[in-house]
């Protein structure tokens, strides 16, 4: 049997959701998320060669990272985590202990709810997080729309730690040629800015889109071939409108992991770039052991 050339690939953006009796979700959330376990993730990801995972704290857990820690304990060296904390009450020593458990980044979420002045608040949150973030092996991950990122570009550009931007920068209707698009591409050229090529349905009117936005994929990969990583956004949380509240547990988007993965590979234009995005770049950003490619059976 021929060896999979992408064995040991990394999915750099997944969420793990535990049972609500063990891991309560925030009371003011717009909905309740259903369980999404490590075993379920591995069952769909490992057949295509993905064995490393970066677990990102979802908004519905707030700053309670308990579920994230348990998932990292299960994954061991095959997992890394991005946590959410209150920068005003969290000490650097606490984050250093987080690092020993596999946390390598802190997330700033300016997407899941409305903000009166998102760019200004993003700048303040970024400054506060930089004050407490240990510098060795740590980064800040930002989820925000392209317009918000563009307005806060001056502050982002001055960061002395890596900045990771989620989901293609959430360009929505912006093109790479428009002002916000050009500002996002300018950020992508900076040596400390990384881009997650993840969740194409968040950049499309189709809530089940699995094909990357071609103009943005091409532009971002050309701007930062050594600082782009891929993520599935599994288990694909349901579409939400800002301010909309739903009682109960709506289903996750019905998206096949293998199709999402294959559509991403087919969309890549530059030869040899897949291995860089799926294996080499994540090794550098997240500090996975190089020797671990495939999980032992």
Per the domain annotation, does 296 fall within a domain? no
Q: What whole-number distance in Å separates Cα of residue 36 and Cα of residue 267?
A: 28
Per the domain annotation, does 198 fall within a domain? yes
- The closest of 53, 120, 50, 110 to 84, measured between CA atoms, is 110
Mean pLDDT, all residues of the chain: 92
CATH code of the domain in which 269 resides: 3.20.20.140
Q: What whole-number distance in Å separates Cα of residue 119 and Cα of residue 105?
A: 21
User: Whose structure tokens read 């769909």?
Assistant: 44
Can you tell me whether residue 56 is helix, strand or coil? strand
Per the domain annotation, does 294 fall within a domain? no
Per the domain annotation, does 2 fall within a domain? no
Per the domain annotation, does 71 fall within a domain? yes
Task: Please give the tally of structural domains in the chain.
Answer: 1
What token pair was written down for 35? Answer: 């369980």
Q: Is the pLDDT of residue 238 over 70?
A: yes
Note the pTM of the prediction, 2 decimals: 0.94
Q: What whole-number distance in Å separates Cα of residue 200 and Cα of residue 202?
A: 5
Per the domain annotation, does 293 fall within a domain? no
Q: Is the pLDDT of residue 239 over 90?
A: no
State the distance between the two ends of the chain, measured CA to CA, in whole angstroms: 17
> Residue 75 has what DSSP assignment?
H
What token pair was written down for 131? Answer: 């004050």
Find the DSSP H helices in 202-256.
Answer: 214-223
Per the domain annotation, does 201 fall within a domain? yes
Per the domain annotation, does 196 fall within a domain? yes
pLDDT confidence of residue 243: 45
Q: Is the pLDDT of residue 249 over 90?
A: no
Which residue range(s) make up the domain with 255?
Answer: 9-286
Per residue in 113-170, pLDDT tens? 777 788 899 999 999 999 999 888 899 999 999 999 999 999 999 999 999 999 999 9
**Average of per-residue pLDDT across 226-251:** 82
- Residue 31 confidence class, pLDDT cut points 50, 70, 90: confident
């Amino acid at each position: 049997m021929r060896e999979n050339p992408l064995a040991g690939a990394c999915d750099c953006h997944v969420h793990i959701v535990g049972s609500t009796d063990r891991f309560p979700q925030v009371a003011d959330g717009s909905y309740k998320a259903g369980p999404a376990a490590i075993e379920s993730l591995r069952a769909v990801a490992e057949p295509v060669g993905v064995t490393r995972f970066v677990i990102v704290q979802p908004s519905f857990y707030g700053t309670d990272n308990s579920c994230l820690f348990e998932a990292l304990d299960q994954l061991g060296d095959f997992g890394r985590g991005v946590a959410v904390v209150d920068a005003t009450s969290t000490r650097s020593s606490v984050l250093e202990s987080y690092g020993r458990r596999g946390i390598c980044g802190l997330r700033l979420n300016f997407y899941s709810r409305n903000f009166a002045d998102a760019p200004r608040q993003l700048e303040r949150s970024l400054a506060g997080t930089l004050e407490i973030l240990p510098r060795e092996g740590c980064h800040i991950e930002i989820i925000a729309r392209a317009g918000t990122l563009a307005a806060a570009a001056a502050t982002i550009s001055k960061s002395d730690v890596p900045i990771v931007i989620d989901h293609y920068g959430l360009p929505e209707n912006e093109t790479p040629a428009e002002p916000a698009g050009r500002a996002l591409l300018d950020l992508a050229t900076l040596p400390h800015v990384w881009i997650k090529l993840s969740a194409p349905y968040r950049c499309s009117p189709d809530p089940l889109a699995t094909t990357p936005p071609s103009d943005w994929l091409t532009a971002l990969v050309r701007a930062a071939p050594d600082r782009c990583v891929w993520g599935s956004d599994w288990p694909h949380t349901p579409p939400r409108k800002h301010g909309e509240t739903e009682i109960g547990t709506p289903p996750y988007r019905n998206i096949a992991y293998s199709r999402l993965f294959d559509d991403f590979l087919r969309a890549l234009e530059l030869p040899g770039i897949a291995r860089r995005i799926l294996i080499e770049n994540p090794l550098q950003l997240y500090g996975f052991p190089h020797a671990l490619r495939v999980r032992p059976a």
